[in-house]
Amino acid sequence: MNQRPAPPQVPFWRSPQGRAWTFQIAMLAAFLWLVAAAYSNVLANLESRGISSGFKFLRNEAGFRIGETMGVPLPGWGVFVILAALAAGLAASRLMARRARSTPGPRGDAWFAAGVLACAGLPVLALWLTRDAVDVAHYSETSSYGLALAVGLLNTLKVTLIGCVASTFLGLLVALGRLSPNWLLRTLCRWYVELNRNLPVLLQLFFWYFIVLQHLPDVRNSLSLGEWAFLNKRGLYVPALVPLDGAWPFCAALLAALAAAVVLRRRSRRLRDETGAPGRWVVPGACLLLALPALSWLAAGQPFALELPALKGFNFQGGTGLSPEFTALVVGLTVYVSAFNAEIIRSGIQAVPKGQREAARALAMGEGQVLRLVVLPQAMRVIVPPMTSEYLAIAKSSSLAVAIGYPDFVSVGGTVLNQSGQSIEVVGIWMGVYLAISLVISLGMNIYNRRVALVER
């Protein structure tokens, strides 16, 4: 008889699964014990300091000044209306686009135009209808801690956005410089990168804030660009666009025209791919972009006034003043990150095999076409993931604003923390919000990455 010997009995705790579970249960127990100990400590410590926990303090009056504030749009019912209109517009345009495809000829074109109108018009209409429904709260000393934090958050987002865009362009320039056949330019760009990469960003912020900006002339002797821009110790003053009555319809028309032009372009591209007919979208798109805003300008009157900064008394009045803190933060972050971005872009461009360029040239492509159609799309695959990390780094490093007194999210939160003593809550809010920002940035970049990634079988 062919009987297999019974396998030796291994006790459960000595089998791989058993050990894994024992280990994990021990870990979980240790973790729970830590949490429980920390919790009881927190309760005891908070009681001895007379602090109550919870987020109620966010309603309390802040009582401190914030140097730079923006109006905080408070979401009301208008947001839902706009979102609903956006969804409805998209759905309608989808339907009509399908109709347009099934009915060729001028009637199809009419359906298509209706789709474009629905897609662009409905949200614009909703924006117009709800323009008073979105409350804009302006921060003052009597506002709540919650509003103070919101102002700080907006300031952080402002710096992050400008920093990302500016550092990308500066990085691209430096990367191209490093790839230049010109030895001097190449060397300069190399040292730019080596210098910026190897110095702490905080040191660089101090350099811009305490040294460069302090050496600028005082208000009376500002460096000026004609009557338009003035640079002095107190910051940078540039003209401001002041919205007048016509601003709303004008912006709406501009948005609608942009959306319509994008749709036009996509349609002509698809037509070209399907039928081989040359897709023409540049001229109609440009006409649309010019005509709609121009019409609304004529209909609604002048939408914006340009307000120039002017020296009155001891300081500049009018225009937009960028504070020294903001300027130092944006310039410092941009310069620091641009060094990293330059290396990322350079490595991406160098990762494209030389044969690809040669093949493109052999197909008689021009230099611009080679770059635009062959090199950059392939370089993007290498560039986008590490660039995402750099954008995340900008969002996070903008928190160094606290060191030079720019009222960003961490700086305002720090003041709230000191005043209210609600350290756990404030640190929790910080972490949650930065996690959300990081998540949104990496989500957006991942969607973009999927579009540029190598399509494999």
Residues that bind other proteins (CB under 8 A): 16, 19-20, 23-25, 27-28, 31, 37-38, 41-42, 44-46, 48, 180-185, 188, 194-195, 197-203, 206-207, 210-211, 392, 396-397, 399-400, 402-403, 410, 414, 417, 423-424, 427, 430-431, 434-435, 438-439
Alpha-helical runs (H) found in 276-365:
282-300, 324-351, 354-362
Residue 144 CB, shortest distance to other proteins, in Å, is 22
- Shortest Å, Cβ 16 to other proteins: 7
Considering beta carbons, is residue 318 or 405 the nearer one to other proteins? 405
Nearer to other proteins, 28 or 351 (CB): 28
In the complex, what is the shortest distance from the CB of residue 151 to other proteins, in angstroms, rounded to a whole number?
Answer: 18
CB 281 within 8 A of CB 214: no
Q: Which is nearer to other proteins, 243 or 366 (CB)?
A: 366
Least distance CB 187 / other proteins (angstroms):
8
Of 195 and 359, the one with the shorter C-beta distance to other proteins is 195
Do residues 178 and 186 touch, judged by C-beta distance below 8 A?
yes
Q: How far is CA 327 from CA 23, 58, 189, 335, 339, in A?
A: 53, 30, 23, 12, 19
User: Cα–Cα distance between 209 and 85 in angstroms, integer?
Assistant: 46
d(CA 115, CA 111): 6
CB of 361 to other proteins, least distance (A): 17
Question: C-beta of 192: minimal distance to other proteins in Å?
Answer: 10
Residue with tokens 């494999």: 456
Provide the minimum distance between the beta carbon of 108 and other proteins in the complex, in angstroms, as a whole number: 48
| Of 105 and 181, CB closest to other proteins | 181
Cβ proximity to other proteins: between 237 and 340 the closer is: 340
What Å distances lie between residue 430 and 53, 102, 388, 436, CA to CA? 16, 53, 21, 10
Instruction: Identify the DSSP state of 8.
Output: P
Q: Could you list the beta-strand ranges (E) of 105-204.
A: 135-137
Go through 118-146 and write b for each residue having 16 or more CB atoms within 10 A of its CB, e for each that does not. bbbbbbbbbbeebeeeeeebebeeebbbb
Give the number of residues written for the chain: 457
Q: For residue 369, what are the contacts with CB-CB under 8 A and spacing of at least 6? A: 360
Q: Which residue, 361 or 396, has its beta carbon nearer to other proteins?
A: 396
- Pull the structure tokens for residue 315: 């300081």
d(CA 66, CA 408): 10
Q: Which is nearer to other proteins, 21 or 228 (CB)?
A: 21
Beta carbon of residue 428, minimum distance to other proteins (angstroms, whole number): 9
